[in-house]
């Protein structure tokens, strides 16, 4: 029926239904004909069905629209020139616009996903994702090339390459990282991230072979160390060689043989003694340097224990109380939370803190604010940290990174290996030692435990 209005269509069908009921009742009461009554009942039933079906037009369209959204079937189309009136045309147009918007959104997402897949396959970093059951989701060509594991479908297949690697990855926290040497040609640095997709928890791993970079850094480190060793040894050996030559000349020219013995003039004897004393001092300095180098290269592996940070601070306070009080320096300890625990080697961490506090003490020599703060807490990612803060002379910007170089020092006395050893100890703990300094205002050394 070509009605232009849905409302008129309803009214027309209701009118026919009422007319059929009235006419059927009238005829049945007048003629008492059951056959005619049955015919009218059938007609009334058909008209009622037609009315209900016509009334459900909107529901059918909405259902079709929602099913298209539910099953991501955006090929559906709704007729714009509906014969049911302007309200239906507007509804059809709205449905078509929404479907088209979803279609464009899905196309954009597919393009972005394709771009992401191409990018992942072409980057020089290995990428692997796996869910809570260990099933591999994404693995790029670089990861396959690095790991060389045939039919890599489950994260547990990493055990074929290295059992230690698999254990470390399974225990790696989101945001964590570690490095491991698999063989002479493969030294991996691995980082982890977590995300949720499709209602499942996924872990994303990135792999990089840092063998070449390590070799470059190792070569540079040896070159720097060689420069330091050459400089220090030449500083000691050059005057020793010169003095030895001078002493030889004195013995040759100023010593005479008399009555089976040797006689030397008083001035020459004094020069000889001064030269020998100088050689002794320079030799002692060289021995001290060699011992310092030995200490730097023989740091023991940490023996990890779980201990209270408060107990660590209390112990340091007892050890340094008199030394700091003697020069009027106040040591304040702050811990948040108070029951903070640390998993590390307490002896090595104590050694770092004592070294940093002694450095802070020297930096406060001319400062009016004679206070050292030792603070412990948790980062925004719940990783523990310890800071040593002072308000002394500070460190000039050009020396901030150089202070961690072995045997480099800005002090008149000292071997220049204290901070180098401290950073090396933190590296052995899979942590870091960082410094921030504003000269003559504030210096903060931070021990981060990852």
Give residue 373's pLDDT. 94
Residues 23 and 69 in one domain: yes
Residues 377 and 287 in one domain: no
Residues 369 and 441 in one domain: yes
Residues 197 and 248 in one domain: no
Here the CATH number for the domain that contains residue 340 is 3.30.565.10
Q: List residues bridging with 200 in a β-sheet.
A: 197
* Structural domain contains residue 111: no
Give residue 337's pLDDT. 92
Among the listed ranges 171-180, 188-197, 214-223, 382-391, which one has the minimum average pLDDT value? 214-223
Query: Percent of the chain at pLDDT above 90?
Result: 14
Give residue 4's pLDDT. 46
**Residue 306 pLDDT level (bands cut at 50, 70, 90):** very high
Q: Tell me the chain's radius of gyration from C-alpha atoms.
A: 43
Residues 311 and 445 in one domain: yes
* Structural domain contains residue 320: yes
Residues 317 and 403 in one domain: yes
For residue 359, how far is the Cα from the chain centroid?
30
As a whole number, the mean pLDDT across the chain is: 79
CB 303 within 8 A of CB 343: no
Residues 26 and 149 in one domain: no
Q: What's the pTM value of the predicted model, to 2 decimals?
A: 0.45
Report CA-CA distances (Å) from 251 to 50, 167, 185, 258.
Answer: 134, 70, 60, 14
Is residue 382 predicted with pLDDT exceeding 70?
A: yes
**Residue 188 pLDDT level (bands cut at 50, 70, 90):** confident
Token look-up 């239904």 returns 17
Residues 160 and 78 in one domain: no
Nearest to 248 by CA among 272, 278, 264, 221: 272
Is residue 445 predicted with pLDDT exceeding 90?
A: yes
Number of domains the chain is built from: 4
Length of the chain: 450
**Greater confidence, 239 or 407?**
239
Q: How many CB atoms lie within 10 A of CB 140?
A: 22
Is residue 258 predicted with pLDDT exceeding 60?
A: yes
Here the CATH number for the domain that contains residue 173 is 3.30.450.20
The last residue of one of the domains, among 266, 296, 326, is 296
Residues 324 and 433 in one domain: yes
* Structural domain contains residue 261: yes
**Greater confidence, 284 or 194?**
194
Nearest to 449 by CA among 390, 401, 377: 377
Q: Kindly give, in sequence order, each residue whose CB lies less than 8 Å from that of residue 198, ignoring residues fewer than 6 positions away.
A: none
Among the listed ranges 348-362, 383-397, 406-420, which one has the minimum average pLDDT value? 406-420
Is residue 328 predicted with pLDDT exceeding 50?
A: yes
**Tens-digit pLDDT profile for residues 359-377:** 899 888 888 889 999 999 9
What is the arithmetic mean of pLDDT over 299-309?
Answer: 87
Is residue 405 predicted with pLDDT exceeding 80?
A: no
**Residue 2 pLDDT level (bands cut at 50, 70, 90):** very low
Give residue 349's pLDDT. 92
Q: List residues bridging with 32 in a β-sheet.
A: none
Give residue 332's pLDDT. 93
**Residue 8 pLDDT level (bands cut at 50, 70, 90):** low
Is residue 253 predicted with pLDDT exceeding 90?
A: no
**Greater confidence, 335 or 149?**
335
* Structural domain contains residue 112: no
CA distance 356 to 85: 84
CA distance 249 to 236: 21
Q: Is 405 helix (H, G, I), strand (E, B) or coil?
A: coil
CA distance 394 to 390: 8
* Structural domain contains residue 255: yes
What is the arithmetic mean of pLDDT over 422-441?
Answer: 89
CA distance 372 to 311: 18
Nearest to 345 by CA among 267, 401, 425: 425
Report CA-CA distances (Å) from 252 to 255, 262, 266, 272.
Answer: 6, 11, 15, 12
* Structural domain contains residue 107: no
**Tens-digit pLDDT profile for residues 189-244:** 888 988 887 778 889 898 888 777 766 766 666 666 666 667 667 766 777 777 77
**Residue 261 pLDDT level (bands cut at 50, 70, 90):** confident
The last residue of one of the domains, among 209, 236, 265, is 209
**Residue 284 pLDDT level (bands cut at 50, 70, 90):** confident
322 is in which domain, residue-wise? Answer: 305-449
What is the arithmetic mean of pLDDT over 305-315?
Answer: 92
The last residue of one of the domains, among 209, 236, 257, is 209
């Amino acid at each position: 029926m070509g009605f232009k209005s849905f409302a008129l269509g309803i009214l027309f069908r209701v009118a026919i239904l009422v007319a059929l009921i009235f006419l059927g009742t009238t005829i049945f009461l007048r003629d008492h004909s059951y056959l005619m009554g049955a015919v009218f009942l059938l007609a009334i039933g058909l008209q009622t069905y037609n009315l209900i079906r016509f009334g459900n037009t909107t529901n059918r369209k909405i259902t079709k629209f929602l099913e298209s959204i539910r099953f991501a079937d955006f090929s559906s189309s709704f007729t714009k020139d509906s014969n049911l009136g302007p309200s239906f045309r507007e509804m059809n147009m709205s449905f078509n616009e929404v479907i088209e918007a979803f279609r464009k959104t899905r196309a954009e997402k597919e393009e972005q996903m394709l771009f992401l897949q191409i990018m992942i396959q072409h980057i020089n970093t290995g990428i692997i994702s796996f869910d809570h059951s260990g099933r591999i989701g994404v693995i790029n060509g670089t990861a396959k090339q690095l790991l060389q594991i045939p039919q890599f479908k489950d994260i547990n297949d990493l055990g074929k390459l290295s059992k230690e690697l698999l254990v470390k990855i399974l225990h790696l926290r989101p945001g964590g990282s570690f490095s491991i040497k698999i063989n002479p040609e493969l030294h991996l640095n691995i980082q982890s991230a977590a995300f949720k997709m499709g209602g499942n928890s996924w872990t994303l791993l990135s792999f990089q072979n840092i063998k070449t970079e390590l070799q470059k850094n190792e070569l540079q480190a040896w070159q720097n160390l060689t420069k330091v060793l050459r400089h220090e040894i030449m500083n000691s050996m050059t005057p020793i060689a010169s003095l030895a030559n001078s002493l030889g000349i004195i013995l040759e020219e100023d010593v005479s043989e008399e009555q089976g013995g040797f006689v030397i003039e008083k001035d020459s004897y004094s020069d000889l003694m001064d030269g020998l004393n100088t050689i002794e001092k320079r030799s002692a300095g060289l021995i001290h340097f060699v011992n310092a180098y030995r200490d730097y290269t023989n740091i023991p592996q940490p023996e990890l224990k779980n201990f209270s940070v408060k107990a660590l601070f209390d112990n340091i306070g007892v050890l340094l109380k008199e030394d700091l009080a003697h020069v009027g320096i106040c040591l304040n300890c702050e811990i948040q939370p108070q029951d903070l625990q640390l998993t590390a080697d307490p002896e090595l961490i104590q050694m770092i803190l004592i070294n940093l506090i002694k450095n802070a003490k020297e930096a406060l020599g001319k400062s009016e604010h004679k206070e050292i703060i030792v603070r412990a807490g948790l980062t925004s990612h719940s990783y523990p940290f310890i800071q040593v803060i002072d308000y002394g002379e500070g460190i000039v910007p050009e020396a901030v990174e150089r202070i961690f170089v072995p045997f480099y020092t800005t002090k008149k006395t000292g071997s220049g290996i204290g901070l180098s050893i401290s950073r090396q100890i933190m590296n052995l703990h899979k942590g870091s030692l960082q410094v921030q300094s504003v000269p003559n205002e504030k210096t903060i050394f931070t021990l981060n435990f990852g």
